[in-house]
């Protein structure tokens, strides 16, 4: 008879123990019981995993190092063989002002002492991502998407500088696009790419095609008919428009 | 009575309206000559300047007095219109130009009256120490923990009471000279009692054993289920303030979600895009300081030092290494909203958490699922339910791979797909979403 008691008792203890262990889930810092825990700590490289310790093995030089690393210095991604595409996507030939190191925390760029925002960027009037009749529907649709994701919380759904962050007073000083018609396409690009004033650089968030798409979309806020009358992507101030060729040459010298 | 009351009300309303229009009329002429300095300030200056806070440009409160004291009269107008000309001719202007590394915009078209209006408006502002910054209050309550401890204490008290009662019964029994059970432990006594009532004991044991068996299996089914996992993070990041109150799209901070396998944890420069200006209040200050430390930003000097450090976040949604999951496939191609898997983060007061499937099902527009979040059952259940015609992904242009397959399935030779097309809809499963090698390789 003692055996039965022991059996029942043993079973009770085991069940209770398992249930108690299982209830660890209520601790938010614990992900609960794992079956084959090894599988959650992949030895294969995954982003956002600290490889300083994998399966109990310590590698001190990898501690707190991102597994998602910077590309090797001086390399550019491969953008295919389409010349137009490559020209559009290669790093921008207008360099940031050296002040941006301390004001916007830019690193990894070649800087210049020249105030390129007022000179080179101002003179860059033509949007190299050409707006044509065929692609404008796509560009504006894509622009709207990018704008909603990246800009609207400050600059507002309508581009009037009244996004939710402004309305509830969290952030101040976002301009209305309607007041900024005089800026050239290059200056708009510069502001998004390297940042301007309180706005930070967005080069890490958006690629160049996306930024030029946004420049088109911002022009649409300033001028409802933007794109309807032009077949070439251009700014609203036509008088100082440069021929497309010059800009191409500049790019070519950069490449060489 | 009623009639007169109604009349009275009507009369009051008319009176109020009349007085209102009159007073509005009366006030208007008095204000028109002045230029609205506040509006001008917010349209021209506020991008860089704040009345009381150094930002990209220095704070402007009291600036006019300083210029009048130190510089040639009227030089401040010259400075605002074109600072370079002013700096060339006036020593004070030159010293001001050295204050900040950034150069001020030139405002050639502004009039002296407008400048006066702006500066008058700036000087009329009263510094508000509190201010309307950051509406979000996060009161993370420790209620739950407290009530848990309470239950344990209650349980312990209950146990003590039972034991004490048992002792009293024993004492009484001994005192009245009943069956003596001296020298027997509680367990032996219980055993004797169980033998006496063998039938009940057996029935009770069977019920107990069955209940425990069920509980055991339920527990075993929780193994590998990570619902409710919410590890503590280096910064108590309130999603409800960022995505909710401030309306920031998920994809702004988690910006690689549309391009990459991983949704991405925002790099510190993304935080700094806003937090350069937003310093927070009360308990937020210490949290935001951690961002500044990581970014190497000095909020007093308004400069980056270049000394950066990591913020070591704890990964929340971890899949075993034999599973391949790609965010861009689901978000861009599949057009799945973040909330389908991550819940409504606009209401989430804390950091990221693996939402239990019951919570996910409460969200409007979500596909209803039954299996626990982040388990394979959950994945394939969704693959079985999701229709490919639902594809509305943002960069989806209607001419890609899936559309073509879909068109062929629906319009082409149906004999092969007869089984799948019976219900006249194409699910992810029918396009191979249940093939092992889609996710395991």
Residue B182: the pLDDT is 59
d(CA A184, CA A75): 30
Residue position matching structure tokens 């009532």: B197
CB contact under 8 A, A40 and B46: no
> pLDDT category, B99, cuts 50, 70, 90?
confident
What is the number of other CB atoms lying within 10 angstroms of the CB of residue B275? 19
Q: Which residue of B has its CA nearest to A97?
A: B102
Q: Residues B278-318: pLDDT tens digits? A: 888 888 899 999 999 999 999 888 889 888 888 888 888 88
Distances (CA, A) of B255 to A25, A142, B327: 31, 15, 11
B209 to chain A, any CB pair closer than 8 A? The answer is yes
Residue B177: the pLDDT is 67
Question: Over chain B, what is the mean pLDDT?
Answer: 79
pLDDT surpassing 60 at residue B139: no
Q: Residues B382-439: pLDDT tens digits? A: 999 888 764 544 444 444 666 677 677 777 766 766 777 677 777 888 878 899 998 9
Is residue A143 packed enough to be buried (19+ CB in 10 Å), middle (13-18) or exposed (0-12)? buried
CA angle B221, A49, B219 (to 5 degrees): 10
CB contact under 8 A, B249 and A153: yes
Residue B189: the pLDDT is 80
Distances (CA, A) of B224 to A32, B189, B227: 7, 42, 9
pLDDT surpassing 90 at residue A194: yes
Residues of B in contact with A47 (CB under 8 A): 261-262, 264
Percent of chain A with pLDDT strictly greater than 90: 29
**Nearest C-alpha of chain A: how many angstroms from B229?**
5
Q: Which residue of B has its CA nearest to A98?
A: B101
What tokens does A42 get?
A: 């992949």
Interface test with B, best of A77, A165, A183, A202 (most B CBs within 10 A): A165
What tokens does B184 get?
A: 């027997």
DSSP string, B92-123: HHHHHHTTSSSPPPP-TT--HHHHHHHHHHHH
Q: 32-91 in B: which are within 8 Å (CB) of A?
A: 42-50, 55-56
Spell out the alpha helix ranges (H) of A30-119.
Answer: 83-89, 100-103
Coil, strand, or helix at residue B48?
coil
Residues of B in contact with A200 (CB under 8 A): 269-270, 272-273, 276
d(CA B323, CA B335): 21
Complex ipTM more than 0.90, yes or no = no
B233 to chain A, any CB pair closer than 8 A? The answer is no
> pLDDT category, A234, cuts 50, 70, 90?
very low
> pLDDT category, B28, cuts 50, 70, 90?
very low
CB contact under 8 A, A15 and B321: no
> pLDDT category, B84, cuts 50, 70, 90?
confident
Q: Dihedral, CA atoms, B73, B77, B78, B79, nearest 10 degrees?
A: 100
> pLDDT category, A2, cuts 50, 70, 90?
low
**What mean pLDDT do residues A123-137 have?**
89
The structural domains of chain B, ordered by start, are 37-124 (1.10.760.10), 156-221 (no CATH), 239-265+313-439 (no CATH)
Q: Which residue of B has its CA nearest to A38?
A: B320
d(CA B202, CA B313): 54
Q: Are B58 and B99 in contact (CB under 8 A)?
A: yes
Is residue A31 packed enough to be buried (19+ CB in 10 Å), middle (13-18) or exposed (0-12)? buried
Strand partners, A199: A196
What tokens does A220 get?
A: 């649409």
Residue A67: the pLDDT is 66
Interface test with A, best of B39, B41, B56, B271 (most A CBs within 10 A): B56
DSSP letter at A196 equals B
Residue A186: the pLDDT is 94
> pLDDT category, A4, cuts 50, 70, 90?
low
Spell out the alpha helix ranges (H) of A1-74.
Answer: 2-22
Q: Which residue of B has its CA nearest to A183?
A: B105
d(CA A183, CA A200): 18
> pLDDT category, A245, cuts 50, 70, 90?
very low
Q: Are A254 and A93 in contact (CB under 8 A)?
A: yes
What tokens does A157 get?
A: 């759904």
Residue (of A81, A189, A83) closest to A127 by Cα position: A189
> pLDDT category, B183, cuts 50, 70, 90?
low
User: What phi and psi values does residue B253 have, to the nearest 5 degrees?
Assistant: -80, -45
Cβ-based contacts under 8 A for chains A and B: 200
- Segment of A144-153, B127-136, B168-177 carrying the highest mean pLDDT: A144-153
Residue B382: the pLDDT is 93
The structural domains of chain A, ordered by start, are 38-67 (no CATH), 83-255 (1.10.760.10)
Strand partners, B427: B387
Coil, strand, or helix at residue B303?
strand
**What mean pLDDT do residues A240-245 have?**
40
Q: 264-303 in B: which are within 8 Å (CB) of A?
A: 264-265, 267, 269-270, 272-274, 276-278, 295-297, 302-303
Q: Which residue of A has its CA nearest to B206?
A: A8
Residue B433: the pLDDT is 87
């Amino acid at each position: 008879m003692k055996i039965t008691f022991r059996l029942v008792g043993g079973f009770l203890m085991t069940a209770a123990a398992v249930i108690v262990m299982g209830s660890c889930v209520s601790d938010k810092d614990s992900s609960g019981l794992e079956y084959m825990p090894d599988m959650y700590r992949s030895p294969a490289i995954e982003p956002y995993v600290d490889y300083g310790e994998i399966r109990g093995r310590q590698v001190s030089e990898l501690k707190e190092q991102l597994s998602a690393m910077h590309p090797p210095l001086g390399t550019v991604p491969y953008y295919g063989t389409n010349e137009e595409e490559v020209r559009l996507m290669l790093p921008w030939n207008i360099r940031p002002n050296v002040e941006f190191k301390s004001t916007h925390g830019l690193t990894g760029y070649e800087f210049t002492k020249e105030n390129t925002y007022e000179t080179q960027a101002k003179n860059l009037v033509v949007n190299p991502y050409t707006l044509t009749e065929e692609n404008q529907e796509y560009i504006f649709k894509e622009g709207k998407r990018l704008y909603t994701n990246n800009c609207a919380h400050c600059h507002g759904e309508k581009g009037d500088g009244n996004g939710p962050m402004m309305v509830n007073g969290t952030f101040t000083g976002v301009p209305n696009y309607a007041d900024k018609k005089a800026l050239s396409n290059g200056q708009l690009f510069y502001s998004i790419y390297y940042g301007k004033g309180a706005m930070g650089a967005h080069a890490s968030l958006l690629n160049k095609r996306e930024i030029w798409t946004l420049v088109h979309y911002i022009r649409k806020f300033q001028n409802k008919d933007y794109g309807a009358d032009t077949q070439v992507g251009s700014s609203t101030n036509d008088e100082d428009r440069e021929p497309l060729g010059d800009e191409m040459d500049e790019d070519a010298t950069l490449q060489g | 009575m009623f009639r007169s009351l109604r009349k009275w009300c009507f009369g009051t309303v008319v009176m109020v309206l009349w007085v209102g229009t009159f007073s509005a009329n009366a006030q208007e002429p008095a204000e028109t000559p002045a230029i609205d300095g506040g509006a001008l300030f917010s349209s021209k200056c506020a991008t860089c300047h704040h009345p009381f806070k150094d930002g990209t440009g220095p704070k402007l409160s009291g600036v006019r007095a300083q210029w009048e004291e130190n510089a040639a009269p009227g030089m401040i107008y010259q400075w605002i219109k074109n600072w370079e000309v002013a700096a060339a001719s006036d020593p004070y202007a030159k010293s001001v130009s050295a204050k900040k590394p950034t150069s001020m915009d030139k405002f050639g078209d502004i009039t002296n009256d407008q400048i006066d209006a702006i500066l008058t408006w700036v000087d009329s502002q009263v510094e508000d120490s509190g201010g309307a910054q950051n509406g979000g209050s996060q009161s993370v309550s420790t209620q739950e923990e407290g009530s848990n401890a309470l239950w344990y204490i209650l349980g312990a008290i209950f146990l003590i009471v039972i034991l004490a009662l048992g002792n009293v019964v024993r004492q009484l029994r001994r005192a009245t000279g009943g069956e003596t059970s001296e020298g027997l432990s509680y367990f032996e006594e219980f055993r004797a009692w169980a033998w006496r009532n063998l039938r009940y004991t057996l029935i009770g044991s069977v019920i107990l054993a069955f209940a425990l068996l069920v509980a055991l299996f339920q527990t075993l089914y929780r193994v590998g289920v990570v619902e409710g996992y919410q590890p503590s993070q280096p910064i108590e990041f309130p999603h409800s303030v960022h995505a909710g109150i401030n309306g920031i799209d998920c994809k702004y901070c988690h910006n690689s979600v549309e391009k990459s396998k991983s949704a991405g944890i925002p790099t510190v420069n993304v935080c700094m895009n806003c937090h350069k200006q937003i310093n927070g209040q009360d308990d937020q200050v210490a949290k935001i300081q951690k961002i500044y430390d990581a970014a190497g930003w000095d909020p007093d000097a308004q400069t980056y030092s270049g000394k950066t450090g990591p913020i070591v976040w704890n990964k929340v949604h971890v899949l075993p290494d034999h599973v391949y999951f790609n965010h861009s496939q689901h978000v861009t191609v599949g057009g799945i909203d973040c909330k389908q898997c991550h819940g409504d983060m606009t209401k989430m007061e804390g950091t990221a958490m693996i939402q239990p499937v019951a919570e996910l099902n409460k969200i409007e527009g979500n596909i209803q699922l039954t299996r626990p979040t982040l388990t394979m059952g959950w994945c394939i259940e969704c693959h079985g339910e999701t229709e490919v015609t639902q594809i509305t992904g943002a960069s989806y242009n209607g001419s890609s791979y899936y559309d073509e397959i879909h068109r062929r399935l629906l319009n082409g030779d149906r004999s092969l797909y007869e089984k799948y097309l019976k219900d006249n809809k194409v699910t992810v499963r029918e396009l191979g979403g249940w093939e092992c090698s889609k996710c395991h390789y």
